[in-house]
Amino acid sequence: MQCDLDWPAGGLANPCGTRELCSVCRTACGRRGLGAGRGRLPQRFQMEGRHHIPLCHRHRWLSHFQCRWSVGTGFVTYRFADPTTGEILPKVSYVKSVRESYGERKAILGAGFYPNVAPGACSPSRVRASLVYTYADIEQFVRCAELELKQRGLAALYDLRSDVRWNSGPVYIFLGARGQGSMVLHGANPSLEGQYLGGWVDSTGFEYVREMADIAAHYGDGYTYYEFPNPATGVAEPKVSYVRNVNIDGFDYVLGAGLYIPANTACLEMPTAGEVDTRAELELFVSCAAEMVASRGANAFELLLNHPTWIEGSTYIFVSDQQCHNLVQPLDYRAEEATCDRVDAEGTLLDQNIKDIANSEAGKGYASYIWQNPATDKEERKTSYVVGVELDGETVSVGAGLYGLE
């Protein structure tokens, strides 16, 4: 192949096993646009500062493009600068090998998008306050709020304050004017809006508002730890918040949201539903779910039903009240039915037994019964661990079980 690019002799290492150079480089530019260049890479692809090194030396995605050239077409995943922010983010491009109609030379034609900031990644069904549980969740939640602000400006403040998508119990959006130290938006406590909070400290004397402003100003984004009243309990609890610097109409703001840290620090290393395999893991899994119900109240239900931390395959959390109504139950049972008299294939009053464990002096324990396994669609023996927790003045049963547990 004839090479007319001023790149190092020998070309780029090609994961397909060959060493080739493209004479025309065409690839994605911007989130949905198309950029094309001939001979050298387009100027917009040359990054400044610490990235100002010939791309053929540093960026393996060029080799992946060449690989797709050999194959003919396909997707390439790599990291590249988002032209709207300059931030290096994961990017997915679809590329195709084409031949110029007026000659024999080939070209790589393609377009790409940034999945972390694409509109689909911020759809309400995927990103909402009630589904925030992990660090990854909180970062995506704040990034999507930023997208909302950049698309609509400060007109988005009303929805960010009052829409349940952005405000659910202990998870909410806050926005501060970075240079002034004043609160522009606070989803949990609107009375703080307009107040100067620059000198605020938590119960330990930590100036967390000033810390948030420093993080946004010097690093662009990051985490800070402090104590703050939990709107679900009214009690000051340890909290971690993720904040980002956001520029709207030429003004810098601190945008953020946070998570309250579980009192049981073991919950930070808790196995997910798909990883629970032993009695010890099951007990920790259920205890952490019970703590979350106590902390978030009914706001926890949507999370328990939909977040992969809490439901996978045949392992899931269930919650029932004193009348044996199913408050959280992913299987097809109607919540309005009182099922305290329900028996399994062996005649066991399974729901009554679960309630009795929650109401016992210990407030926790095991129940064994026959139950449908959603993974096999058959009735099998299930061993569940149950914990009683107070919700709206009533003890509810929080539990989960494993099939075939010895």
* Better-predicted residue by pLDDT, 169 or 221: 221
How close are the terminal C-alpha atoms of the chain, in Å?
65
Q: What is the number of structural domains in the chain?
A: 3
Q: pLDDT confidence of 335, banded at 50, 70, 90?
A: low
Q: How far, in Å, CA of 277 to CA of 371, rounded? A: 18
pLDDT value, residue 12:
33
Instruction: Examine residue 11 and state whether it is found in any structural domain, yes or no.
Output: no
Q: Are residues 256 and 284 in the same domain?
A: no
pTM of the model: 0.66
Residues in a beta bridge with 395: 390
Q: Where is pLDDT greater, at 66 or 49?
A: 66
Domain final residue pick, 235, 260, 285: 260
**Measuring CA to CA, which residue among 281, 298, 252, 286 is closest to residue 358?**
286
Q: For all residues of the chain together, what is the average pLDDT?
A: 80
User: Quick one: which of 108, 101, 32 has its CA closest to 71?
Assistant: 108
Query: Cα Rg for the chain, rounded, in angstroms?
Result: 27
Q: Is there a domain that residue 351 lies in?
A: yes
Strand partners, 233: none
Residues 175 and 140 reside in one and the same domain: yes
| Same domain, residue pair 230 and 245 | yes
Q: Considering the domain boundaries, does residue 14 fall inside one?
A: no
- Residue 312 maps to a domain: yes
Q: 53 and 101: one domain?
A: yes
Say if residue 397 is in the same domain as residue 272: yes
The confidence score (pLDDT) of residue 67 equals 52
| Boundary of a domain, candidates 81, 113, 145 | 113
Of residues 147, 195, 203, the one with CA closest to residue 173: 147
Domain around 304: 265-403
Residue 218 lies in a domain: yes
Cα separation, 382 vs 57, whole angstroms:
57
Q: Which residue has the higher pLDDT, 268 or 208?
A: 208
Answer yes or no: is 1 within a domain. Answer: no
Q: Spell out a b/e string for 165-189, using b for 16 or more CB atoms within 10 Å of the CB, else e.
A: bbbbbbbbbbbbbbeebebbbbbbe
Whether residue 134 is found in the same domain as residue 74 = no
| CATH code: domain of residue 329 | 3.30.450.20
Specify if 10 maps to a domain. Answer: no
Domain closes at, from 260, 279, 300: 260
The two tokens of residue 281 are 């893991």
Structure-model confidence comparison of residues 405 and 29, the more confident one: 405
Rounded CA gap, 258 and 223, in Å? 9
Burial track 308-324 (b if 16+ CB lie within 10 A, e otherwise): ebbbeebbbbbbbbeeb
- Tell me what the mean pLDDT of segment 319-347 comes to: 86
Instruction: Convert the pLDDT of each residue in 350-392 to its tens digit.
Output: 999 999 999 999 999 999 999 989 889 899 999 999 999 999 9
Regarding whether 141 and 81 lie in a shared domain, the answer is: no
pLDDT for position 22: 32
Residues 239 and 304 in one domain: no
Q: Per residue in 149-177, pLDDT tens?
A: 988 888 899 999 999 999 998 999 999 99
My answer on whether 313 and 358 are in the same domain is yes
Residues 143 and 239 grouped into a single domain: yes
What's residue 59's pLDDT? 42
Does 127 share its domain with 97?
A: no
Same domain, 223 and 139: yes
- Percent of the chain scoring above 70 in pLDDT: 77
CA distances to 45, 62, 149, 165, 289 from 51, in Å:
11, 15, 29, 38, 45
Average pLDDT over residues 206-223: 94
Q: What is the DSSP letter of 137?
A: H
Higher pLDDT residue, 175 or 104? 175
- Is the CB of residue 227 less than 8 Å from the CB of residue 207? no
Structure confidence at residue 20 (pLDDT) = 33
Mean pLDDT of 279-293: 96
Least confident of 28-42, 109-123, 235-249, 256-270: 28-42
Q: Which is more confidently placed, 357 or 51? A: 357
Query: 373, 403 in Cβ contact below 8 A?
Result: yes
